[in-house]
Structure 1
Amino acid sequence: SGALLALSTAPWSSAASEMPEGQPLIYRSTASFVKTATKTNEDALAVDVSWNTIASAGIITSDQMALIYSLAEKKENPSLQSGIFKEDGAAYVSLFTAIFEGINKDDVIGYALAMLDEITDSDSRVASFFTKVIADSKGAIDPLKPLYKLLSRSTPFIVEKASVLMAKLVGDVPPMECPPAIVTILNDHLSKLAQWVVTAMKEVHPSEAAESEKTSAAMCGLQSLVSTSRGRAAALQADALLPLEALVTASSVSHSSSTVQLLYQTLFALWSLSYSKEAAAEMTHSKVGLIAKLVEIIKGSQKEKVIRVALSTLRNLQGVGKSNDMMVVNGLMPVLEALQARKFADEDIPEDVEFLYGSLQSNLLGLTSWDVYKTELESGQLEWSPSHKSEHFWKDNHKAFEANECAAIKQLVALLASEDPKVLAIVCSDISEFIKHHPEGRRIVVQYGAKALAMGVLKHPDPTVQKHALTCVQRMMVINWEYLNRS
């Protein structure tokens, strides 16, 4: 909790001054989650709620009924509503708490959530009244608990709005005068929300996520959560990057409208997280090769909003660790050159393209072929780039594989256990080339355990993998391999 308190709400910087528009493992059945058409705040607020009946049932008092009607009369103007709310903040917090605790009807809950969402969007200072009620009661009254319980409801709109509101109400840094015990309560709510979001995203398989109302609701909550530095810290602690990376991977193989929208939401969340130094560092060391995926998305997408947020994410990652080298290795420069020739309605895209192109030029000029190969090898995301097929590369660089106690050889051997057929084929080819060009190549690769793993790869069903694995094993088994009949 201390780490969350220490973070302050940082202004948006680097790639953009404000957030762009848009909303954005274990898998369990989500059959109980009710599928509905997309619902908006306007839809929810169009419901005619009989507050008189609710007051007659004793769920709210007559005074609270007057309060809700005073807001309802101004529902077309959230800025006026926020002004009314702030005139008697504690009373309005008590009103909404009573509604969320005492009413089960979806239409009424949805109405109240939509109204509060509009009010807090109009003036974020409204959130402080919820914190103040907790502080003034020394934690005895917690208006956030009923909201958290709404996350278990089966109606997507209610779950989405409850998660978004929770993020807005606990995401800001508590005031300096806030007692430590109250800060702990707020931090606990923030951590619980982050855990709920991540768990909800993991409950749906990435290949089915684009059509899942649950994923959509969780994603909206996540986007609200990561809009503040405290929220980003909580999301990172809850391992939010894992399901986001899985969604990026799944979304890159489909171009349906729902998949494109989910991809945009996912990239939007990653872009927000990239403002955190810790998250940016993790993103550059992603096991799924996140930078390579982002380059691939920019290259293949026709949607400007997707291109924009992917470019902005790379811009934020620029200069973090070896990210610049990884961008060059994964072919971002020619992609940027192609984008320079295109016309975009979005002014941010050309700006980000020029920034990245200029920043990466020096990296491109300073990279040797060995630097490029080494960076690609360290990422574990191998492509059939020129180095793998170049006779000159292996003649010039075979001795470099001995550096740092044969670190590159160890990495190649480790990748023989990869589940990616393309990676397996390339690794087998590289080991074959190393044996061919290094006088002690056969002994070195066998010393580090390549033989047994390569023989296992011979059983792979992919014919291309089999072909390269066979050559690799032959060169390890036969001392005078150059006499082999190579077709």
Structure 2
Amino acid sequence: MAQLDISSSAISIPTLLIVNRYFDEVTSNIRERPMPWEGYQRASLITEQELLLLRNYSSRTGLKDQPTAEKYIDLFLILINKLSRMDALQYILVAFDDTIQKFPDTLVYLCQLEVKSEGSPFNTLKRCLGKDDDYLNLKAAKIITDLLNHASPKFVQTFDFTDLLLWLNRQLQSENPNVVDVSVQILQGLLKLRSFRPVFYGKAHLMNIFMGLIQASREGNPQMLYQLLFCLWLLSFEPIISDSLDKQYGVISQLVAIAKGASKEKLTRIVMATLKNLLVTAPGDNLAAMVAVKLLNFCDNLATRKWTDEDILDDIEFIRQELTERFQKLSTWDEYVSEVESGHLSWTPSHQSDAFWKMHASQLAADRGRLLNCLAHALNVPNQDPTVLAVAAHDIGQFVKYYPLGKKMVQDSGAKQKIMELLTHPNADVKYRALVALQVLMSHAWDQ
């Protein structure tokens, strides 16, 4: 994937491009809609001079150069503050954005107005975010995002994102798929701002909505899925985010699953680019999950395929080399620890090796039973994968079998009660592993 200049506070782009047929059609209809500005002037809602400027703009004869464009921008800011009718505000915002599109330097002019505190363009546009009109607040958010991507790093670092976060919270939960689509594209633009990334990530409710959209988009909406993964990729550039992304939201197993079922090459590209970032920015926090999902084996498989995008292969090779080098330094015990810590348990060889348990059972008790508690936690996760439940129950039984004080520690962790509940689990292997573990617990109780 071509690398964006993400080291600066904002990534310089001309303007945010929204690709959505609904959005384009509504914009076109508003642009061509005749507006009764004379009536507004007669009602003293606008001045004669403002009416003259609006007539000139509507005739498309007045917008010829940058100084003229700046005059219209001033006019639009005044009218947004003065008027309240939705049709008028829609027209003004379309004209506002069209002017920016034709004369991108007006974004610089607007940022200068903000610095000079002359009317505060941001505060003016924020007024439209709370309006009861989907198109109006989408257009306002799009313009605000353009402005932020052209503002100075110092300004963006101190910008109050509260209104945008509240807006995203509403829009990402909209029942209108077009509103969600456009909102996600605007989110892509916002996440190009490094200052916005930790603010967005710090809102757990928003992140849960965001991750829910990723899950929902995996079923038949590859373009939306790509846009959401692009947002995730941008988040993964920040070490303070990538060190907890998998722990909080299990993104590594989800990314691998998406790549395995990807119908579009660009989905594989964005997945591998994100995994690469997670490995580079926070290897210590993400290696365990990568071991558990057998990412190295998956990359070996991907490397044998033919790709039209060379960046995919570059990222695959990078991940393969990094994982190979790091795995060579891992012992069997290190691999087991990584797997347990990740929560992605599977039937790797160590679980069913008596020699392994004779040597390492006592280490589950170390650090106040930290690893034992990880196994106990795996039993308590709602809708847990049956394989994870079976492996966790098995390992707890092995711990009790080979560690003399294991029974008491298991009781204290609450795992015994959970294992008893698994006797009624619908999965046959889970029931069997739970029964064996309980037999071990009972026989040790008799011995003691």
- Unaligned 5+ runs, structure 1: 1-6, 13-17, 25-36, 75-80, 483-487
Which residue of structure 1 aligns with residue 397 of structure 2?
Answer: 432
1:337 to partner: Cα distance: 1.4
Rate the CA distance shift 1:480–1:282 in 2: closer, same or farther, 3 A: closer
Which residue of structure 2 aligns with residue 417 of structure 1?
Answer: 380
Rate the CA distance shift 1:121–1:374 in 2: closer, same or farther, 3 A: farther
Rate the CA distance shift 1:152–1:442 in 2: closer, same or farther, 3 A: same
Which of 132, 145, 148 is the aligned partner of 1:170?
148
Asked if 2 retains the 8 angstrom alpha-carbon contact of 1:291 and 1:326, the reply is: yes
Paired residue secondary structure (2:168): helix
Identity of aligned residues (%): 26
Which residue of structure 2 aligns with residue 148 of structure 1?
Answer: 126
TM-score normalised by the chain length of structure 2: 0.81
**CA deviation profile, 1:17-64 (whole Å, cap 9, x unmatched):** x99x9969xxxxxxxxxxxx8324476236563667325523651342
Matched, 1:195 2:175: no
Which of 351, 369, 374 is the aligned partner of 2:332?
369
Rate the CA distance shift 1:473–1:173 in 2: closer, same or farther, 3 A: farther
Paired residue secondary structure (2:444): coil
CA distance in 1, matches of 2:98, 2:104: 10
CA distance in 2, matches of 1:365, 1:231: 38
Which of 79, 86, 95 is the aligned partner of 2:75?
95
Matched, 1:379 2:342: yes
1:349 to partner: Cα distance: 1.0
Letter in 2 for 1:316: N
Paired residue secondary structure (1:9): coil
**CA deviation profile, 1:57-105 (whole Å, cap 9, x unmatched):** 23651342256347x469xxxxxx7x83x42465222332355453645
TM-score normalised by the chain length of structure 1: 0.75
Q: How does 1:20-419 map to 2 (within 5 A)?
A: 38-41=21-24, 44-45=27-28, 49=32, 53-58=36-41, 61-65=50-54, 68-69=57-58, 72=60, 84=65, 86-88=66-68, 90-98=70-78, 100=80, 102=83, 104-106=85-87, 112-114=92-94, 116-117=96-97, 120=100, 125-136=105-116, 138=117, 141-153=119-131, 156-174=134-152, 187-188=159-160, 190-201=161-172, 203=173, 212-239=177-204, 240-252=206-218, 254=219, 256=220, 258=221, 260-286=222-248, 288-319=249-280, 320=282, 321-419=284-382
Asked if 1 retains the 8 angstrom alpha-carbon contact of 2:69 and 2:99, the reply is: no
Bigger relative contact order, structure 1 or 2, given CA contacts below 8 A and separation 6+?
1
Rate the CA distance shift 1:443–1:114 in 2: closer, same or farther, 3 A: same
1:194 to partner: Cα distance: 2.3
Rate the CA distance shift 1:447–1:273 in 2: closer, same or farther, 3 A: closer
1:122 to partner: Cα distance: 6.8
Asked if 2 retains the 8 angstrom alpha-carbon contact of 1:160 and 1:220, the reply is: no
CA distance in 1, matches of 2:18, 2:360: 48
Asked if 2 retains the 8 angstrom alpha-carbon contact of 1:274 and 1:313, the reply is: yes
Rate the CA distance shift 1:149–1:52 in 2: closer, same or farther, 3 A: closer
Rate the CA distance shift 1:117–1:361 in 2: closer, same or farther, 3 A: farther
Letter in 1 for 2:37: I
Paired residue secondary structure (1:376): helix
Letter in 1 for 2:162: S
Letter in 2 for 1:9: S
CA distance in 1, matches of 2:75, 2:168: 27
Which residue of structure 2 aligns with residue 28 of structure 1?
Answer: none
- Unaligned 5+ runs, structure 2: 1-6
Asked if 2 retains the 8 angstrom alpha-carbon contact of 1:401 and 1:408, the reply is: yes
Paired residue secondary structure (1:366): coil
Count of aligned pairs between the two proteins? 428
Letter in 1 for 2:143: L
Paired residue secondary structure (2:22): coil
1:304 to partner: Cα distance: 1.0
1:314 to partner: Cα distance: 1.2
Paired residue secondary structure (1:455): helix
Asked if 2 retains the 8 angstrom alpha-carbon contact of 1:164 and 1:225, the reply is: no
Rate the CA distance shift 1:415–1:50 in 2: closer, same or farther, 3 A: closer
Asked if 1 retains the 8 angstrom alpha-carbon contact of 2:77 and 2:124, the reply is: yes
Paired residue secondary structure (1:367): coil
Which residue of structure 2 aligns with residue 29 of structure 1?
Answer: none
Letter in 1 for 2:129: L
Paired residue secondary structure (1:228): coil
Rate the CA distance shift 1:105–1:22 in 2: closer, same or farther, 3 A: closer
Q: CA RMSD in A?
A: 3.6
CA distance in 1, matches of 2:210, 2:190: 14
CA distance in 1, matches of 2:153, 2:264: 41
**CA deviation profile, 1:121-156 (whole Å, cap 9, x unmatched):** 6765433333333443x46x2333453343345654
1:193 to partner: Cα distance: 0.4
Rate the CA distance shift 1:395–1:417 in 2: closer, same or farther, 3 A: same
Rate the CA distance shift 1:305–1:111 in 2: closer, same or farther, 3 A: farther
Matched, 1:445 2:407: no
Rate the CA distance shift 1:393–1:301 in 2: closer, same or farther, 3 A: farther
CA distance in 2, matches of 1:129, 1:42: 29
